[in-house]
Amino acid sequence: MVDRTKLRIAVNITVLIIVIIFIFRLASYNRILHQIETQHTGKIVQAFYMIQEPDFFKYFVGGIVAGAALIVTSVSDFWHREEYGFMLTVINILVNLLVFVTLIIVYANPVFTTFMIVASAGGLIIAATNN
């Protein structure tokens, strides 16, 4: 059992490191999106030009994968809270939540934010019903 716990902690740390690196890359990419927003008026026109940006879907899908990974690791931590102990479970979930909120704030895309809110609600429902 100890080896499984260490493996889960290693996976959590790896996911956090990858997501944090992605957030830093996303922050620099967001400068391009903000330039598009300042050059064009109207949300529909802005969205049209943003979607035409060559890296838009790469970052959009990457953001969804990063958010989903944080949700999955949080749900997994909740399910295995007996192995971790209460404090480690709370710390893991709070760190994941902090990084998740940071991801949403840095991306600042209404479609992405809506998708992440729905996904996190689904994660909460799954965690509550499968326990």
Which tens digits make up the pLDDT trace of 94-119?
Answer: 999 999 999 988 887 777 777 888 88
Q: Report how many domains make up the chain.
A: 1
Helix ranges (DSSP H) in 40-129: 43-52, 56-79, 81-84, 86-107, 110-129
Q: What is the pLDDT of residue 2?
A: 58
Q: What is the pLDDT of residue 21?
A: 94
Question: For all residues of the chain together, what is the average pLDDT?
Answer: 84
pTM as predicted:
0.80
Question: pLDDT grade, residue 5 (50/70/90)?
Answer: confident
Is 12 within 8 Å of 92 (Cβ atoms)? yes
Q: What is the pLDDT of residue 99?
A: 93
Compute the radius of gyration of the chain from its Cα atoms: 17
Q: What is the pLDDT of residue 65?
A: 92
Q: Which domain holds residue 36?
A: 2-129
- Measured at the CA of 117, the angle between CA 116 and CA 121, to 5 degrees, comes to 115
